[in-house]
Amino acid sequence: MARAATTSDVFNAIAEPQRREILVLLRAGERAVTELAQELGMSQPGASKHLRVLREVGLVRDRQAGKQRLYGLDARGLRPVHEWTGGFERFWNETFDRLDAYVQDLKQAKQEES
């Protein structure tokens, strides 16, 4: 099966670590591309390329503010990721419940030995 284009699939877009870092930075509020590039230690054209991908999949919005363009997080685009990962919540809850039961059994056995 062919892989979806990065610009059309949120999963592929966030697979890139620097894009995830951009999203983390944007959680704190809007930023100009130059700020993001400096913070991430990358070139401005490199940051712009990542922002374009994030905008095309709906994770980032932009607006003109004077002479600069500000980018902000649009977390609604993460809904498919949230729904997919949420499917694993039951697995983890059951795993932790089993671990808790095992620890309680160990504590009980230790108390009975004393």
Handedness of CA 85, 86, 87, 89 (dihedral sign): positive
CATH architecture of 6-113: Orthogonal Bundle (1.10)
Helices (H), 1-114: 10-14, 17-26, 33-40, 44-56, 79-86, 89-113
Q: What is the pTM of this model?
A: 0.74
Model pLDDT for residues 30-44, shown as the tens digit of each residue: 999 999 999 999 999
Q: Residue ranges per domain, the chain?
A: 6-113
Residue 14, pLDDT > 90, answer: yes
Model pLDDT for residues 76-106, shown as the tens digit of each residue: 999 999 889 888 888 888 889 899 888 998 8
